[in-house]
Amino acid sequence: MGDKANEELAKLGQKSLETAEKAGGWIDDVFGNGIRHVAGAFEDSMAGFRMRNRAQVMEKTRKAIEKSGMVGNVRALDPRISIPLFDAISNESDDVLQRVWADYIRNAVDPKLPNPERVVIDVVRRLEPADWPVLRVAFAHKTGELTAANFDMEESALQASLDRLHVLGLFEHNDGGLIFLLGGESDLSRKPLSITVDRSEYSATRLLRKLAVATSQWSDEHVS
């Protein structure tokens, strides 16, 4: 890598650290002061890519925390959460999914909310940008039956997304087995959310509900 490229990466690293300083003490409170010592990590373009992503997510999170009025009142994250979380945001460059991470972190550090779960990190880090519009429609309906007509996308793209979400554990194929309800396992008065595409039916699992709550798509009243 040439001197010019190294110089640009160094500038990027300094800018990221300045962003961390601007964000205030909440970053140290959440991730520990190790974040202050990452400037020496710029050996290639990937280091710059990861640093830029972290800086962008941190800035979005700072704004989310300020908007929520939690400045100076955030809880530290357990290393079992903070380490995989820090790694996950480093690899996310999509603006929409960065905002999802910002919402997740804001809720994770809110001392009034339940402790965050690592399973949600594992799900969000594996989402594709095309998956979030599908999830937003699912979050908006919560229960009932949906078809491809409810989604503003090609049927083939919708099914590809649902197949990915099925692999992540957010939807089950309805094969006559046990179906988990978004509102709680004992709530048999409501039909669980299902999406039918072509001849395939996908039923929402409780993990989808956890994701909705963790990313502020639902309020606390939905937590059972």
Higher pLDDT: 181 or 73? It is 73
CA distances from 224 to 77, 121, 181 (A): 23, 20, 11
Could you give the CA distance from residue 109 to residue 30 in angstroms, rounded to a whole number?
A: 7
> pLDDT digits over 71-97, tens only?
888 899 999 999 999 999 999 999 999
Distance (Å, whole) CA 70 – CA 43:
36
In the chain, where the domains are located: 3-124, 131-222
| Gap between the Cα atoms of 41 and 94, Å rounded | 22
Instruction: Answer whether 0.85 is exceeded by the pTM.
Output: no
Q: Exposed, middle or buried by CB within 10 Å (0-12, 13-18, 19+), for 85? A: buried
| Residue ranges of E strands in the chain | 145-147, 171-173, 194-197, 200-204
Cβ burial 15-51 (10 Å sphere, 16+ → b, else e): ebbebbeebeebbebbbeeebeebeeebeeeebbebb
Instruction: Count CB-CB contacts under 10 A for residue 208.
Output: 26
Q: How much is the average pLDDT of 45-58?
A: 87
Q: What is the DSSP letter of 150?
A: G
Q: At residue 43, does pLDDT exceed 70?
A: no
Could you tell me which residues come within 8 angstroms of residue 221 by beta carbon, excluding any fewer than 6 positions away? none
